[in-house]
Every structure is written in structure tokens, then in C-alpha cells.
Amino acid sequence: MATKLFVGNLSFNTTEGDVLDLFKGAGNVSSCELIMDKFTSKSRGFAFVTMGTQEEATKAIAEFNGKELDGRALTVNEAKPREDRPRTGGGGFGGGRSERGGGRQYSGNRY
């Protein structure tokens, strides 16, 4: 059964191909996904790698956790299931207070 691994502390210069090539050394890689920031399209510094079997995943953790890649010591462990986050009703604004502050506004007319 396939096992998903979390790979953290990646250099922002590391590519998905670099991660894939490294993990192929431990066995069959079913998928590799480098997580990118949706606004800047730059790496967020972590990836998920799915190994073909539990044995290959265990081997990859033993071999690559703490191993240096592009000048950074990798963190490799079994990925935790994603938690469902409750959806909120949208942004909205904080209510009540104005950015202008209190008091009278000077209108230019003197009485």
C-alpha cells in the first residue's frame, strides 16, 4: 500500500524534479508534489512524496531524514492526514469603529 511522506525544510531553489530524483533512490515513487504559493508561484519549502510501499517509505525516512539537499537538512516523516478546517462565512470587516477616529471634521468654514 502506498505511503505518503512529508518532506520539509527544502530550499526555495529545490525543484520537484530534485525531490523526485532523490526519493527514487529509496524505491518506487508514485507521486511527488512540491507545494507552491498560489500568489507568488514560488516554493513554500515543503513537498509530499508518495512511496509505493510502506517498506520503501520506511527506507526513505531512514535514508533522507536529516540528509542535506541544496544546503538544507531535510525533515522527512510520514504525512499526517489533512484536517478539515471549518469554512467561515467570508472576510467581512470588524464593525463599529471607523479608521478616522472621533470628533468633528474641519470643513473650512468658521462660524
Q: At what angle do helices 54-64 and 16-24 cross, to 10 degrees?
A: 110
- DSSP letter for 10, please: -
- Confidence bin at 93 (pLDDT 50/70/90): low
**Looking at the chain, which runs of residues are DSSP E strands?**
3-8, 29-36, 43-51, 68-69, 72-73, 75-78
**Domain extents for the chain?**
3-40+55-78
CATH of the domain spanning 3-40+55-78: 3.30.70.330
pLDDT over threshold 70, residue 110? no
- Confidence bin at 83 (pLDDT 50/70/90): confident
- Mean pLDDT calculated for residue range 11-36: 97
Predicted TM-score of the model (pTM): 0.73
Position 81 scores a pLDDT of 87
